Amino acid sequence: MTGLFDPLQLGAIALPNRIVMAPMTRSRSDAQSVPTPIMVEYYRQRATAGLIVSEGIAPSRHGIGYCRTPGIYNAEQVAAWRQVTDAVHAAGGRIVAQLMHCGRIGARFNKAPDAETVAPSAVRAAGRIFTDVAGMQEQEVPRALATGEIAGVVEEYAAATRHSLEAGFDGVELHCTSGYLPMQFMAVNSNQRTDAYGGTAENRTRFVVETLEAMTGAAAGRVAMRICPGNPFNDVHDPDPTETYRALLSRIAHLGLAYLHVIRSPHRDLDAFALAREHFSGPLILNDGFDGASAARALADGKGAAVSFARHYIGNPDLARRLREGLPLAGFDSKTIYTPGEAGYIDYPFAAS
Ligand SMILES: Cc1cc2nc3c(=O)[nH]c(=O)nc-3n(C[C@H](O)[C@H](O)[C@H](O)COP(=O)(O)O)c2cc1C
């Protein structure tokens, strides 16, 4: 029977256990989207995870949406990420970069002056977004990408994949949920295009397929994707997620992704893990709301190959050991999740030995 502490091969990446640290935006980069030294320490502390998935990282300056979030599109950022990956590797860990292009989610105060807000269609997302300089702001009205520009955005992901390997990451995960650019293409309200990227499920998933093709071309065996079928976060709507994700997964089957990271669907009648299992033959990482016992059960039941934990990793840098030894799990301070500085970030203690 498979357990949390059995080793696992994900494409070219070998894990000593099946406990994955899920991606978490923590807003500790500098104002130029360069990772800071406290991020080196944060990830180093969590290196006993079987695999760390980094916070969302923008593939281009246009992909930044939130304040103090990192990028991987210039040499300074690559050098700073190299400090992170070296520290994780020296501590015996593995880390993949999550590539996150926010598309229409963002405010100009969070972006470089020469960055644009682009999306499938010029449709503003409902809701407001935090900025350091001007407090809460309406989401930007995006500029719709012209058909001829889309290949350039796909190339940004390919370049970011190459930069991630150069920075020492073990692989890359495409952030394909939470209403960011890839999901804006897949949803029907944010994608009102009439070209080959809009309309049918096949057309709405074309951007993601082309992006994954470009990424796997740059890093075979080291590319993965994260999905959450039916997730309405950031004002995206899909009336038939089963059909959309069936179309997507069947069209990427030939790419041999290292893994598929699946978040439970918010729709009660949609079993995202079963849907993924049906249409994806590689390893699944399961996520959302797991603790040690439910994670062990999910693996024993054959629902997936590994389980990822996000919130438990905020206050438990040594989560893997705590789960192995049945030690109590610490909580965390919600006030310091996104605040700059060390507090609530690198000051959560390890369990006493
Ligand atoms: C503070 C915070 C930041 C997050 N940032 C990201 C992110 O950058 N990328 C992503 O795919 N998911 C992000 N998530 C979602 C988590 O990866 C995860 O799916 C969610 O928290 C449910 O898992 P859990 O029950 O183990 O916390 C974030 C969650 C939290 C709490």
Q: What's the pLDDT tens digit per position in 185-216?
A: 999 999 999 999 999 999 999 999 999 999 99
pTM here is 0.99
Q: What is the pLDDT of residue 199?
A: 98
Write the residue with the smallest CA distance to atom 1 of ligand 1: 24
What pLDDT score does 266 carry?
Answer: 95
pLDDT digits (tens, 9 = 90+) for 165-192: 999 999 999 999 999 999 999 999 999 9
According to the model, what pLDDT value does residue 30 have?
98
Q: How far is the CA of 265 from the centre of ligand 1 (A)?
A: 14
Proportion of the chain above pLDDT 70, given as a percent: 100
Chain segment 270-302, per-residue pLDDT in tens: 999 999 999 999 999 999 999 999 999 999 999
Q: Is the CB of 263 under 6 A from ligand 1?
A: yes
Helix, strand and coil in the chain, % to nearest 5: 35, 15, 50
The best mutation among 130, 311, 337 to test binding of ligand 1, ranked by most ligand atoms within 8 Å of the C-beta, falls on 311
What is the pLDDT at residue 1? 85
Residues 72-116 pLDDT 10s: 999 999 999 999 999 999 999 999 999 999 999 999 999 999 999
Please give the C-alpha separations between residue 203 and each of 67, 120, 156, 207, in angstroms, as whole numbers.
32, 12, 20, 8
Q: What is the pLDDT of residue 205?
A: 98
Tens-place pLDDT, residues 206-242: 999 999 999 999 999 999 999 999 999 999 999 999 9
- Show the domains of the chain with their CATH numbers: 8-309 (3.20.20.70)
Residue 245 in tokens? 């994700």
DSSP code at position 62:
G
Structure tokens given for 55: 């916070």
Q: What number does the ligand 1 atom closest to the CA of 337 have?
A: 1
pLDDT of residue 168: 99
For residues 106 and 117, is the Cβ–Cβ distance under 8 A?
A: yes
Catalytically annotated residue among 42, 43, 66, 180: 180
Q: What is the mean pLDDT of the chain?
A: 98
Confidence at residue 337, expressed as pLDDT on a 0 to 100 scale: 98
- CA 280 – CA 261 distance, rounded (Å): 11
pLDDT over 90 at 353, yes or no: no
Atom of ligand 1 nearest to the CA of 263: 19
* Residue 343 burial by Cβ neighbours in a 10 Å radius (0-12, 13-18, 19+): exposed
Residue 348 bears catalytic tag: no
Which residue in the block uniquely carries the two structure tokens 């916070």? 55
